[in-house]
Amino acid sequence: MQKTSKRRAPRTEYTSQNQLSFTGFETPFYNGLDPENRWVVLSSQIPWDELVLLFNKRNPPKKTGRPGLNPRVLIGAVIIKHLLNLDDRETVLQIGENMYLQYFLGYSSYIKRAPFDASLFVDIRKRLGEELIHEMNEKIHEFSKSAPSKKKIKPLPIPLEIW
């Protein structure tokens, strides 16, 4: 019987905090995003245009005052919050720190700050409401069933009751 070897994380020698250099820390950002990342894949599995249209029907943009946030950011933030089982503040922190979550929300490039204040989640939940959330889940479910066979989209792991 052949012994299987375990994959282990590479061992690095201890380096004193006084010797670490932020500028010398290597990152893979110059390579671009991984197309197999779960957030990149999930972003193509969601019918964003239809969800934003539903949102805008119930919450039309105001003609005066400060423009509202992008509806995709609002809807996507709620999806992230529930899929990762995070509280409001942690969701906003994670979005600010993770370039894949920002891609999922439709950002064209990485930004170093939070997209909005965590207290806005209260308003987002009021704007969405149960009926709109149910309609959005139905659209996602329809889209996942009718997707072209080339994409091989699996049904989303977003049950109706998570919102």
For residue 79, which of 69, 97, 94, 67 has the smallest C-alpha distance? 94
Q: Report the range of poorest mean pLDDT among 6-10, 83-87, 113-117.
A: 6-10
For residue 70, which of 34, 137, 120 has the smallest C-alpha distance? 120
pLDDT tens readout for residues 37-64: 999 988 888 888 888 888 888 888 777 7
The percentage of the chain sitting over the pLDDT mark of 70, rounded to a whole number, equals 71
**What does pLDDT average to over the chain?**
77
pLDDT in the model for residue 64: 79
- Buried b / exposed e over 22-53, threshold 16 CB at 10 Å, is eeeeeeeeeeeeeeeeebeebbebbbbeebbe
Q: How far apart are CA 80 and CA 97, in angstroms?
A: 13
pLDDT in the model for residue 133: 80
pLDDT in the model for residue 148: 59
CB 128, CB 120: distance < 8 Å = no
Which amino acid type is present at position 34? D
pLDDT in the model for residue 156: 47
pLDDT tens readout for residues 93-136: 999 999 999 999 998 888 888 888 888 888 888 888 888 888 87
